[in-house]
Amino acid sequence: MSGTEEPLVEADRLAAELDHADPPTLLDVRWRLAGPPGRDDYAAGHLPGAVFVDLDTDLCGPPGAAGRHPLPDPAALQAALRAAGIRAGHPVVVYDGGDGVAAARAWWTLRWAGHRPVRLLHGGFPAWVAAGLPVSTEVPAPSPGDVPVRPGELPVLDTGAAAALAAAGSGVLLDVRAAARYRGETEPIDPVAGHVPGAVSLPAGGYVDPDGRFPAAAVLRDRFAAAGVTDAAPVGAYCGSGVTAAQAVLALHLAGRPDAALYVGSWSNWVADPSRPVATGG
């Protein structure tokens, strides 16, 4: 990928890199929307040397009108990343429980914060274990890092921009939640069901493989093209709270669209204001 770090790394390649004198910094970001906490999984076993980073409290701001997983305060994010040992310009690898969702949001957050050398372990912790690679319960004490947080490297949509993109015939706003949530038939989390008027439904299973792995770039391009994403038209993505949509943005990067924008607040932010329009049906 011209001008950017390759976003994915396979388990065997990562294992070889960890044998180097100055290996990548590993972040364990295992997380489940409904719990239990990912820290429990980390305590039971993790990649040797990995530091646990909490998606909810370290990589996102407090929930509220901005959404359930809003952008973090830059100073707070910088403190969390430095506490995890992240150094300026030094490679970072993030991993989760295998579906790639939390790891993609961690990847996106570090890239948004200006840290370019960050990759996602393809297949997450299960891929590491399946490769027969070692697991540890030892909790490392990393030396404090010096990474600066400079927000704004990746594009972000606010409610106005999301509405404009959805309404524009020349752009596409992807809704990557389950189709029933998009249609307004059910809403298990947020207080209002439906979707942003003009948004296009493309559930995550429509572009990522069932095991959470990303298909080849050509396959991704075809899957996004079927949803109306063209080479030149603006494209953005949202979900319930900006976590699964970060995975969509990563997939769009892999498909050759590094300009893809994330609506971080997503549906949880959209419905925080009852005056915003809501569409239902498919």
Question: For residues 264 and 275, is the Cβ–Cβ distance under 8 A?
Answer: no
Question: For residues 277 and 255, is the Cβ–Cβ distance under 8 A?
Answer: no
Of 116, 117, 103, nearest to 23 by C-alpha is 117
> Is 60 a catalytic site residue?
no
Of 57, 74, 163, nearest to 112 by C-alpha is 74
Phi-psi region of 242 (alpha: psi -120 to 50; beta: other; left: phi over 0): left
Question: For residues 174 and 248, is the Cβ–Cβ distance under 8 A?
Answer: yes
Helices 101-112 + 244-254 axis angle, to 10? 70
Structure tokens at 72: 């973090």
Question: For residues 245 and 239, is the Cβ–Cβ distance under 8 A?
Answer: yes
| Strand residue runs (E) in the chain | 8-9, 25-28, 51-52, 92-95, 118-121, 156-157, 172-175, 200-201, 235-238, 261-263
- Which of 71, 239, 246, 262 is an active site residue? 239
Which positions are annotated as active-site residues?
239
